[in-house]
Structure formats: C-alpha cells, structure tokens
Amino acid sequence: MNPIHTYYLPADQFRAESARRLGEEALGSLDSHAPDAASFAAVVGWSGPDSAALYQRVRTRITRMPVEDLRLDFEDGYGVRPDGEEDQAARSAANEVAMSMAAGILPQGIGLRIKQFTPLHRRRSRRTLSLFLSTLLERTGGVLPPNFVVTLPKVVTPKQAGGLATVLAQAERRYKLARNALKVELMVEAPQSLMGPDGRSPLPSIVRAAKGRCVGVPLGVYDFTASLGIVPAEQRMRHPACDAARQMMQIGLATTGVALSDGGTNVLPVGDRDAVHRGWRLHYDDVRHSLVNAYYQGWDLHPAQLVTRYAAVFSFFRESLESASRRLAAMVKNRNQALALGGVADDAATGIALHNFFLRGINSGAFGEEDLAGTGLTLTELRAGTNPASK
C-alpha cells in the first residue's frame, strides 16, 4: 500500500534529522494552539465520545512516525539558482540522506523532485539527479534508500517520461543497481496531460513511456488551475476543475496499479491562534474531500499540516469502522451472496470495496489489528488478499 502523504521540502533545507524535527514542530503547534482534545475537536468539527481517542491517536502517530514519505524538492520549492549552488545542494542533500539511512531515522519513503524535462531545464535536471545519485551511492556502498522515487513535474508528453526512463536505466547500469530499481512519479499539472488535440487522453501513454517505472501520478493543483486561467483567489484544492481532473486521472489509470496522489493546501496553518485554526480546518476539509474522492495520498507543505493530515485520515476511516465491520462480517458468513443489511444491499463488488477499506485503514494507522475483530477476517487474511467471496 502507498503512503498517505508526501511531505515536500526544499532540497537545501533537508537534514538527516528533518523528519524528527518536522514532528517536533507539528507537536509544538498542537500544544500551542489546541492542547487538548476538546479544543482540537472544536477546530475540525469532531463530536462524540471518540474525540479524545482520536486526538491521542494523532499525537501518538506524530510522535512515532511524523513523516511517511519525503520529497526533496529541486523544482518550484527550490527555484532556479546558479549551477554551482544547485550542484552543492544536490551533493549536500545526498550526504544528509546517507546519514539519515545510517542512523535508521529515514522516513519509509524518500526521493527528489527534479526540474521538468524540457529543453530549458533538462540538462540541469539530469545533472542534479546524477550528482545526487553518485554522492548517495558512494556514501551508502551502492544501496538505495527504501521506496526511493524520482518525481518529474509538468509532464505533458510521453517523450518526457520516456526521456527520464532512459536516464534512469543508464544510471542503473552505471551504478550496478537492479533493473527498474529507480522508480518515478509523473505529475499532472496541465490540461494537455489529460486531453490531447485528438480528444484522447495521453495520460496512459505517458505512464507507459516510463517503461514500468511509474508508481504514482500526483495532481499539481495550482499549476493546473493556473493553466486553465483560473484567478489566484479561486485556485484551491476543491475547485470543480480539480475534481474533473481527479476523475479523468482515475478513469485513465484504473486497474494499472499506479497510485494517485492529490495536491497540497497552500494556505498554511501559521500565525496567531485564529490563523492556525483556519489553516487547520481548511487543510482538514481538503484532505477529507480527497478521501471521499478516493485519493488516499496527498502532499503536505508545512509541519503543522501533519496534525490535520492524520486527524482527517483517522477520523475518515474510524467513522465507518462499526458499520463496515458488520457488512464485511455478514458477507464473509454468507460467502458473498447478495444480501441486505440495515437497508443497504451488498454484492461482490461491495465485498471487494470493504476489504480494501480495511486494508487502507490498517495501512494508514487508523486501525489496529484489534479493530478487525468484528470483520470475520484476520490480519493475515486481509493482507494476503483474501476475498470475502471465497472464505
């Protein structure tokens, strides 16, 4: 299963202990602006007796694993700088990653976002990637970090994705890495990625051009809305144009196994308490909107957003835990025969959706093994892909 978020950090700001420090900043924001369950529940709109348990689950998660996936950004978050400065930043970031690996404090996933593969930026992108990889692998004895990904922004043609795939294949041979060890994300940030002049979507061809390396396709909300001429005041996560893009991405890549990731809320929870609360509520609602639309991963841009990322994800899954458990248990007991429970008609497709719901809940940290007690499935069966129809 994929991470529930990716934290984007300008590459020159990354240090070996960045993930831990981001968690400390997130907890500091929580302590300052919502030091107890009741005050935080009032911000995000929680109600009921589970608020205290949810609040504690969020705090525990940030303490134990604040960042699941981290992307060192050499694109918009870094900007265009002199070549010598970016060269140094690439080497420095690689050294810091190597130190974090050696200390065992690296997030579960990490990677870097290079600049786009256009004539203006391609040489710079290749050089940054080469310097980063050569420095990192020299320091680690040829070992890549787990779940290492190269993110390519603003992809609009299969040629761009194919060009990166070729560069990565060359790097694998040069550094004696396993074939396809270097994975990629291909970002959708322009309408041309979703609809060509012939009325067809080029997105499946773009993914195929990566030659089996593409593991994810994130939506770049603000570049995408800007490219449609939407004014800055209306560029937001829940703009209808973004929902249309999300649905086109889902349709174009359904059943491919490529994970979809949503953008990040750019109104940050910073400033006085009222400003932080507004930023938290906006981010919380944005994350919930993504989840409702089956986007289970998204970007985070500020440490305080870790608070509402986990709060939104945990509450989304736990709110449906009791009813989903009853429905799944009934389907397991009846070997997936169509049935109606509590006025809801369930069939085989529902069984698959319920199974995936619990897989995602476990993966996100919203559920523990004890939460499967009412489903009729063990954690081993769930992870093995046991279909309720065949139990």
How many other C-beta atoms lie within 10 A of the C-beta of residue 384? 9
pLDDT bin (cut points 50, 70, 90) of residue 383 is: confident
Give whole-number Cα distances, 268 to 114, 271, 276, 305, 337, in Å.
24, 9, 8, 8, 48
**Of 74-78, 181-185, 332-336, where does mean pLDDT reach its minimum?**
332-336
Instruction: Give kind and range of the element (H or E) at residue 94.
Output: helix 83-103
Of the two residues 339 and 144, the one the predictor is more confident about is 144
Q: What is the pLDDT of residues 199-252, one digit of tens each?
A: 999 999 999 999 999 999 999 999 999 999 999 999 999 999 999 999 999 999
77-96 in b/e form (b: 16+ CB < 10 A) is bbeeeeeeebeebbbbbbbb
C-alpha to C-alpha distance for 171 and 180, rounded to whole angstroms: 10
C-alpha to C-alpha distance for 68 and 5, rounded to whole angstroms: 7
Please work out, in degrees rounded to the nearest 5, the angle formed at the alpha carbon of residue 265 by the alpha carbons of 260 and 266.
Answer: 130
**Of 16-30, 98-112, 293-307, 325-339, where does mean pLDDT reach its minimum?**
325-339
Residue 157, by phi and psi: left (phi above 0), alpha (psi -120 to 50) or beta?
beta
Residue 373 has pLDDT above 70, yes or no: yes
146-160 in b/e form (b: 16+ CB < 10 A) is ebbbbbbbbbbbbeb
Evaluate if pTM is beyond 0.85. Answer: yes
pLDDT bin (cut points 50, 70, 90) of residue 114 is: very high
Residue 169 has pLDDT above 50, yes or no: yes
Domains of the chain: 5-315 (3.20.20.360), 321-390 (no CATH)
- pLDDT for the residue numbered 165: 98
Percent of the chain with pLDDT strictly greater than 70: 94
Work out the average pLDDT over 296-314. Answer: 98
Structure-block tokens of residue 180: 């396809």
Q: Is the dihedral of CA 16, 20, 24, 30 positive or negative?
A: positive
Going by their DSSP bridges, the two strands 109-113 and 339-341 should be labelled as unpaired
pLDDT bin (cut points 50, 70, 90) of residue 48 is: confident
C-alpha to C-alpha distance for 92 and 213, rounded to whole angstroms: 26
- pLDDT for the residue numbered 171: 98
